[in-house]
Amino acid sequence: DVKVTQSSRYLVKRTGEKVFLECVQDMDHENMFWYRQDPGLGLRLIYFSYDVKMKEKGDIPEGYSVSREKKERFSLILESASTNQTSMYLCASSLAGGPYEQYFGPGTRLTVT
């Protein structure tokens, strides 16, 4: 059974803290994605990666960075968390050469106070 896991289901951080969200997939997928989901706005792409050490900015990359040192792991970093980054963060993966369907993790609900 295919699986995408995220390091935390719920996270509470203070303004200014550095936050790491980790995502691991076991499907040997080339592509990995980070989205944030806010009510009424759907999913918005923050960053995606199509290979190890490769990354592309999505629609809302400001305030975020990513790291992909291994094929199965894709990390999202909030360098200095702000209250407007309170959101649900979803990681996904897919095969390359598509577009193919994406497999999602359970999500991390981040609250920045």
- Interface residues with another protein (CB under 8 A) are 4, 31, 35, 40-43, 45, 48, 50, 88, 90, 92, 98-107, 109
Closest distance to another protein from the beta carbon of 106 (Å): 5
Rounded to a whole number, what is the distance in angstroms from the first to the last CA of the chain? 37
| Closest CB to another protein among residues 18, 38 | 38
Q: Cβ closer to another protein: 17 or 38?
A: 38
Residues 16, 5, 94, 80, Cα dihedral to 10°? 0
Q: Nearest distance from residue 80's CB to another protein, in Å? A: 27
SS3 label, residue 13: strand
Contacts of 72 (CB under 8 A, 6+ apart): 24, 25, 26, 28
We find the least distance from the C-beta atom of residue 44 to another protein, in angstroms, to be: 8
Within the chain, how many helices (H) and strands (E) appear? Answer: 0, 11
Q: State which residue, 54 or 65, has the beta carbon closest to another protein.
A: 54
The residue among 18 and 25 lying less far from another protein, judged by its C-beta, is 25
Gap between the Cα atoms of 99 and 113, Å rounded = 37
Q: C-beta of 4: minimal distance to another protein in Å?
A: 7
